[in-house]
Amino acid sequence: MKIAPFLKTSLIFLDAPIPDKKAVLTFLADASRASGAVTDRDALFEGLLRRERVMSTGIGDGIALPHAAVLDAADAAIVVIRLAGPIDFDALDNRPVDVILALILPEGQIHLHLRLLAGLSRLCKTPEFLALIRLSTDAESLRRAIQTLEEQMPFH
């Protein structure tokens, strides 16, 4: 599934000076509330924290995919954060994380949740995708570049 329809420039943050994993989850909850993706910031923060307690969403190669489903999310949203500096995220490969790709979903949308996670995972295996995130100079050009990349990728 393509992620571009769920990307908003207002939820793309480049060179965010966030010092640690808990601060990332706090930032995600605050940014999602500020953008209108959710109204209950605390429920989202707790959902993200609960998911991290089960198992770290640091998948390796400097990437974390935190995700949570909450009652008040009107639609799925993807938050992209390129950190100002890498941080420990308890990643599976024990390497620091510099790219956060967070998924916020309406509760009960399990099929959508899995399809978007698969879409993000697929993109993360594409070197061009990570280069776009790590080298982009502004949120809008990054959003457009991701959309173009997805249009060029074969989907089955």
- Assess whether 113 carries a catalytic annotation: no
Q: DSSP states of 22-68 as a string?
A: HHHHHHHHHHHHHHTS-S-HHHHHHHHHHHHHHS--EEETTEE--EE
Nearest to 86 by CA among 20, 31, 139, 29: 20
Give me the residue label for tokens 């489903």.
Answer: 69
Give me the residue label for tokens 């992209």.
Answer: 80
Q: SS3 helix, strand, coil % of the chain, rounded to 5?
A: 45, 25, 30
Write out the two tokens for 82: 């390129």
Active-site positions read: 67
